[in-house]
Amino acid sequence: MAQPGDPASTAPGPLVLNGQSFDSDQRLIMAIINRTPDSFYDAGATFADDAALDAAREAVAAGANILDIGGVKAGPGVVVSVREEIERTAEFIATLRAEHPRTVISVDTWRAEVGDAACRAGATLINDAWGGVEPELVEVAAQYGVGIVCTHAGGQHPRTRPHRIAYPDVMADVLTRTLALATRAEQVGVPRSAIIIDPGHDFGLNTRQSLEVTRRLDEMVDTGWPVLVSLSRKDFVGETLDISVPQDRLTGTLAATSIATWLGARVFRVHDVAQTRHTVDMVDAIRGIRQPSVNRRGLA
């Protein structure tokens, strides 16, 4: 087993979520469904129940394997209590579970109490984007036998932005922290096949650091743990291309997605399901691990 800080290569195994096994060549698309009135990208477009349900249906139809439900904006903003976060997510997750029984339902939270309510409602994955700030959250995952995403956040407090953050070696820090979280998850009883690691683009990272972890993503992949990337329309894309409006960052996002796919990422947390599916499928066809959907040219 890979130990914290040890990037030694380990053969990847299947990822098992919601009773389904996904092999190492399968790319999973995690669709973002924000149950918040102030999200940075859609500004509350899926805060209402009907709009959120429509967005979930459209995502599944476009090829999403996972629906990631979040009740709190990632960045600074109005304080959201535990009770309010549960009200925004748990009942909606129950509705999704009934309507989409084979789809993996994820809850995006750092709070153990919210994770417990979400799992009781039918969530089969916990997306802990803040790096284990509530250690009890991984115990919730173990209790319910669900998966967990172990994210590098550089020790940042939830909903804060990094300020002049520096690392002697940023990928070494990413590996040390995420592998420690993954190891603890396995030790407390989370199935190894349901543990995912995430470098946490923009979370505890400035733009240059996010770019570096992207080009060094193979070092995470080589640990054998499935790697998730959350690149969609983020600030590191905007700053790299000098695009301040998140709605205009799709091209840059898909470019980063192509690199992450080539280097072996297996889960992609996105706003744009169809475009991401096309991107990862094209990269995998070029790599030779996916056949073209049709093969007519030169055969007629």
Q: Could you list the active site residues?
A: 234, 269
Instruction: List Cβ neighbours of 222 (8 Å cut-off, separation of 6 or more).
Output: 7, 8, 9, 10
Instruction: List Cβ neighbours of 81 (8 Å cut-off, separation of 6 or more).
Output: none
Is the Cβ–Cβ distance between 244 and 31 less than 8 Å? no
The tokens of 28 are what? 């999973």
Residues 111, 120: Cα–Cα separation, whole Å:
14
**Which candidate, 115, 158, 169, places its Cα nearest to that of 140?**
115
Is the Cβ–Cβ distance between 206 and 165 less than 8 Å? yes
Residue written as token pair 């919601």: 18
Rg of the Cα trace of the chain? Answer: 18
Q: Strand order in 228-229's β-sheet?
A: 195-198, 147-151, 125-128, 104-108, 66-70, 28-34, 267-270, 228-229
